[in-house]
Amino acid sequence: MALRTFILFFALSLFHLHSFSQDTWLKVEGGTEYSVALKSDGTLWAWGNNGNGQLGTGNTTTQLAPVQIGTDTDWEDFSTGAFHCVAIKTDGTLWAWGLNGNGQLGTGDLDQSTQPIQVGADANWEFIDAGQAHSLAIKDDNTLWSWGFNFNGQLGTGDTDDQNSPTQIDTANDWLSVSAGGGHSLAIKTDGTLWAWGANATGQLGNGTTTPETTPVQIGSETVWVEVSAGFEFSTGRRSDNSIWTWGFNGNGQLGDGSLTQQDAPIQIGDEIEWIQIAAGASFAFAIANGGTLYGWGFNGAGQLGTGGTTQQNAIIQIGTDNDWYHVSASEGAIVGASVIGTHSLGLKESQDVICSAGSNYIGQLGDGTTESTAPFSCMTGDLSVGISNLSETYDPLRLYPNPSAGFFYIRLNDLNSYPADLNVFNSFGQLVLTQTLTGPDNSIDLSRFEKGLYTVSINNEHRAFTRKVMIQ
The predicted-structure confidence for 204-250, as pLDDT tens digits, reads as follows: 999 999 999 999 999 999 999 999 999 999 999 999 999 999 999 99
Spell out the domains of the chain, with CATH numbers in brackets.
24-393 (2.130.10.30), 400-472 (2.60.40.1930)
Whether residue 145 is predicted with pLDDT greater than 80 in this model: the reply is yes
With residue 135 as reference, give the H or E element that holds it. strand 134-139
Whether residue 12 is predicted with pLDDT greater than 60 in this model: the reply is no
Rounded to 5 degrees, φ, ψ at 263 are -130, 130
Spatial contact of 259 and 312, defined as CB atoms under 8 Å apart: no
Q: 13-17, 37-41, 121-125, 309-313: which range is least confident on average?
A: 13-17
Residue 369, Cβ neighbours under 10 Å: how many? 15
pLDDT bucket at 405, cuts 50 / 70 / 90: confident
Instruction: Give the strand pairing for 194-198 and 184-189.
Output: antiparallel
Residues sharing a CB contact under 8 Å with residue 88, sequence separation 6 or more, in sequence order: 75, 76, 77, 78, 94, 95, 125, 126, 128
Stretch 192-210: mean pLDDT:
98
What's the CA gap between 323 and 317, in Å, rounded? 14
Stretch 357-367: mean pLDDT:
94
Q: Could you give the percent of the chain with pLDDT greater than 70?
A: 89
Residue 22, pLDDT score: 57
Whether residue 21 is predicted with pLDDT greater than 60 in this model: the reply is no
Stretch 398-424: mean pLDDT:
75
Q: Could you give the percent of the chain with pLDDT greater than 90?
A: 68
The predicted-structure confidence for 256-312, as pLDDT tens digits, reads as follows: 999 999 999 999 999 889 999 999 999 999 999 998 999 999 999 999 999 999 999
Spatial contact of 422 and 413, defined as CB atoms under 8 Å apart: no
Whether residue 453 is predicted with pLDDT greater than 80 in this model: the reply is no
Concatenating the DSSP letter of every residue in 261-311 gives: --EEEEEEESTT--EEEEEE-SSEEEEEETTS-EEEEE--TTSTT-BSS--
Q: Residue 322: helix, strand or coil by DSSP?
A: coil
pLDDT bucket at 397, cuts 50 / 70 / 90: low
| Cis, bond preceding 216 (omega within 30 deg of 0) | no
154: DSSP letter: T
Question: Chain-wide mean pLDDT for the chain?
Answer: 88
Residue 413, pLDDT score: 73
Q: 282-296, 309-323, 433-447: which range is least confident on average?
A: 433-447
Give residue 82's identity as a one-letter amino acid code: A
What's the CA gap between 223 and 240, in Å, rounded? 9
More confident: 356 or 426 = 356
Count Cβ neighbours within 10 Å for each residue of 305-331 and write b for 16 or more, e otherwise: bbbeeeebbbebeebeebebbbbbbbb
The predicted-structure confidence for 77-97, as pLDDT tens digits, reads as follows: 999 999 999 999 999 999 999
Whether residue 351 is predicted with pLDDT greater than 80 in this model: the reply is no
Stretch 326-335: mean pLDDT:
92
Give residue 238's identity as a one-letter amino acid code: R
